[in-house]
Amino acid sequence: MKNITLILITFLAFSCSNEQPDLIVRASIKGLKKGTVFLKRIQDTTLVTVDSVVVNGSSQIELESDLESPEVFYLALDKNSSEEDRITFFADKGVTIINTTLKNFVFDAKITGSEQQKTLEEYLLLMSRINSRRLDLIKASFEAQKNGDSSALKNYEQKQNNLMKSKYLQTVNFAINHSDSEVAPYLALTEIYNARIKFLDTINNSLSPNVKASKYGKELDAFIKRIKANEEH
């Protein structure tokens, strides 16, 4: 009996030690010889490090994390890196692969992994066109202001306002059209959190049951309830 108990304990210990983490991030950073790579996430509105790897000549970088539902993570080279110096990616359970370079750490990043990441990249491509147009309008506004052309300046400012309205509406439509993806509530919380409550409500009501039960689905629902509660007082 003692032998059987010992075998069971050994088996359980072995099983636990070989249990795979929810998320594995395998990264390759061309040109990086020495340094520390950090895997981060938002916890209670604070950016925290969940894993890190010291690189010393080896190109094999593997980081791990627990993961209850699809969530945005960040890959950084410096512990105190700014938002512009972090690679943002949408992770799901399983393996995410990130290939990039030391020289252009964020810009060169190629991410392979979750379906949510593909959806996020689709949205970012859509927004890149709007952002490019916005930069053109800002430049034109600056020139009009420098030349003292108040009429042109007012015209460009109106175009910027219209462009922002277009961004909000396109984000709402994108979220509704991807209501079965955790990207939808994430965009509502990060890109259009100050939109009219009816837009946020529409996105929230369109979410699939699985997405509603996810991290961002729950956060969006709680966020909308807080807004409504404040409006009643």
Instruction: Render pLDDT for 89-131 as a digit per residue (tens, 0 to 9).
Output: 999 999 999 999 999 999 999 999 999 999 999 999 999 988 8
Report the Cα 120 to chain-centroid distance in Å: 8
Helix axes 115-146, 150-177, angle to 10 degrees: 170
Last residue of a domain, one of 113, 133, 155: 113
Q: State the pLDDT at residue 100.
A: 95
Residue 55 and residue 157 share a domain: no
Last residue of a domain, one of 60, 92, 113: 113
Which tokens in the block code for residue 16?
Answer: 């636990």
pLDDT digits (tens, 9 = 90+) for 152-164: 888 888 988 898 8
Residue 161 and residue 146 share a domain: yes
pTM for the complete prediction? 0.85
The CATH number of the domain where 30 resides is what? 2.60.40
Sign of CA dihedral 134, 139, 145, 150: negative
**140-162: burial string, b at 16+ Cβ within 10 Å, e else:** bbeebeeeeeeeebeebeebbee
Strand partners, 127: none
Q: State the pLDDT at residue 26.
A: 97
Residue 204 and residue 141 share a domain: yes
Residue 142 and residue 100 share a domain: no
Q: What single DSSP character describes residue 113? A: -
3-state secondary structure of 97: strand
Q: Which of 2-11, 107-116, 118-127, 206-215 has the lowest mean pLDDT?
A: 2-11
Higher-scoring residue by pLDDT: 58, 181: 181
The position carrying tokens 């894993």 is 51
Give the helix, strand, coil percentages of the chain, each rounded to 5: 50, 25, 25
**How far is 179 from 123, CA to CA, in rounded Å?**
13
The total of structural domains in the chain comes to: 2
Residue 99 and residue 47 share a domain: yes
Give the confidence band of 11 by pLDDT, cuts at 50, 70, 90. Answer: very low
pLDDT digits (tens, 9 = 90+) for 183-193: 999 999 999 99
Q: State the pLDDT at residue 133.
A: 87
**How far is 106 from 77, CA to CA, in rounded Å?**
10
pLDDT digits (tens, 9 = 90+) for 13-48: 444 446 889 999 999 999 999 999 999 999 988 999
The position carrying tokens 């965009």 is 187
Residue 125 and residue 213 share a domain: yes
Last residue of a domain, one of 60, 88, 113: 113
Helices and strands per DSSP (H, E), number in the chain = 7, 8
Higher-scoring residue by pLDDT: 150, 37: 37
Residue 165 and residue 58 share a domain: no
Q: State the pLDDT at residue 153.
A: 82
For residue 72, the enclosing domain spans 2-113
Which tokens in the block code for residue 209?
Answer: 């049951």
Residue 212 and residue 128 share a domain: yes
Report the Cα 222 to chain-centroid distance in Å: 19
Residue 122 and residue 28 share a domain: no
Residue 125 and residue 85 share a domain: no
Q: State the pLDDT at residue 13.
A: 47
Residue 107 and residue 37 share a domain: yes
Residue 220 and residue 185 share a domain: yes
pLDDT digits (tens, 9 = 90+) for 39-97: 999 998 899 999 999 998 876 799 999 999 999 999 999 878 888 899 999 999 999 99
**209-222: burial string, b at 16+ Cβ within 10 Å, e else:** eebbebbbbeebbe
